[in-house]
Copies of this chain bind each other. A is one copy, B any other.
Amino acid sequence: MPSSPGSSSPSTDRQTDKRRDDAARAAWLYFIGGRTQDEIATQLDLSRQAVQRLVALAVSEKLIKFRLDHPIASCTELAASLAERHGLAFCDVTPSDPAAPGSTSGIAVAAAVRLQRLLASKAPMIVCVGTGRTLRAAVEELDTLDRPQHKVVSLVGAMAAGGQASPYDVVMRLGDKVAAQRYPMPAPVLTETVADREALQSQRAFTVLRELRDQARASFVGISEIGWQAPIQSDGFMTDSDISALIEAGAVGEITGWAFDAEGRPLDSPVNRRVASLPLEIPPQRLTVVVGGGPQKVAPLKAALRGKLMSALITDEATAKALVDQPGDIR
């Protein structure tokens, strides 16, 4: 696997553009026009496998998008059940791929649809986002838009302890996609000390973020378990000792860095006092959409639902089923 395919050639930009253009055209003819790759090859005067590569490129680069428009009965039922039981503004449930229970692609598409619908509006709007792989994937699924009147605001820092940016930073990419104004949070998830956090948060940038957050129309956040294999640890956002402190304090999950217990109560733990993210507040006028699914996320989601840490949920069928089937199960 080549490591940096784009950076080697200086004239890559124009080349790439042309290539993507061709890819889009080929994919259009293939999926929308319903032609075969051979026919497209003839029309575009390319070899068949060149067309095959273009189509594959268009799919992998998501120049072409697939959307399901049919209410699958069991998903609809699960969604309605969860929405009603937990007083959610909405709940979207996508089919699961039984062969890949951890896959987030369906959830990402569903989240993208919601985000898209929201951001398509021309009225200036502020949208807050957390971080994480699922949200990042959702942003990749978005159509490009041109909405410089919108603002996208980060609820949580994307820097790991070392100072390097997380590849799962969402604000910047979202800002790119919709050409909106971007407000990243220049902070790690956890500061070293409580004093550091206070110093950080008294900065001007944080005041701005807080003000924007208060006017936001919606927040889209991920959710994660707290544990030894959890992404928040393996991505270097929390140290081993943070994790063990949280586990001892009874943490089952976190949202934007804030750890909570099985009842969905934010923990009164020293670790939580070093969280640099904006506080978890769920005012009714702002939609707080939790996006996530997979077996590891069932317990955190259960807790977050009990603690009313969200006003909407986007998940997959298997997770929704688990949430509906044993809602009271505390582990």
- Alpha-carbon distance between A95 and B66 when the two chains are bound, in angstroms: 18
Interface string of A140-163 (1 = CB under 8 A from B): 000110000000000000000000
Are the CB atoms of B63 and A24 closer together than 8 Å? no
Q: Which of A62-114 contact B (CB under 8 A)?
A: 62-70, 72-74, 94-95, 97-100, 103, 105-106, 109
How would residues 50 to 66 of chain A score, 1 for a CB under 8 Å from any chain B CB and 0 otherwise?
A: 00000000100011111
* Stretch in contact with the other chain, from A25-33, A127-135, A250-258, A267-275: A25-33
Chain B residues, Cβ within 8 Å of A58: 70
Measured CB to CB, the nearest residue on chain B to A20 is B70
Which A residues are within 8 Å of any B CB, using their own CB?
Answer: 17, 20-21, 23-25, 27-29, 31-35, 39, 43, 58, 62-70, 72-74, 94-95, 97-100, 103, 105-106, 109, 117, 120-121, 143-144
A64 x B62 contact (CB < 8 A): no
B39 touches A99 (CB 8 A): yes
Distance between Cα atoms of A105 and B33 in the complex (Å): 7
B99 x A35 contact (CB < 8 A): yes
Other-chain contact of A69, B63, B95, B120 (Cβ < 8 Å) = B63
Is A66 a contact partner of B64 (Cβ separation < 8 A)?
A: yes
The reply to whether B72 and A21 form a contact with Cβ atoms under 8 Å apart is yes
Q: Is the CB of B29 within 8 A of A68?
A: no
Taking CB atoms, residues of chain B closer than 8 Å to A34 are: 105
Check if B106 sits within 8 Å of A33, measured CB to CB: yes
CA distance A17 to B70 in the complex (A): 10
Q: A21-B73, A43-B99 are in contact. List 5 more A-B contacts (CB 8 A).
A: A28-B94, A32-B105, A32-B109, A67-B67, A69-B143
| CB-based closest 5 A-B pairs | A24-B70, A31-B66, A63-B70, A33-B97, A69-B143
Which residue of chain B has its CB nearest to the CB of A121? B121
- Please pick, from B32, B64, B74, B106, the residue contacting A28 in the complex, using a CB distance under 8 A: B106
A35 with B120: CB separation less than 8 A: no
Q: Are A67 and B143 in contact (CB under 8 A)?
A: yes
A26 to chain B, nearest CB (A): 10
Q: Which of B25, B69, B97 contacts A72 (CB 8 A)?
A: B25
Tell whether, in the assembled complex, residue A68 and residue B117 are in contact, meaning their CB atoms are under 8 Å apart. no
Q: List 12 A-B contacts (CB under 8 A).
A: A21-B72, A28-B95, A33-B97, A33-B105, A39-B99, A62-B69, A63-B69, A64-B68, A64-B69, A65-B66, A65-B67, A67-B143
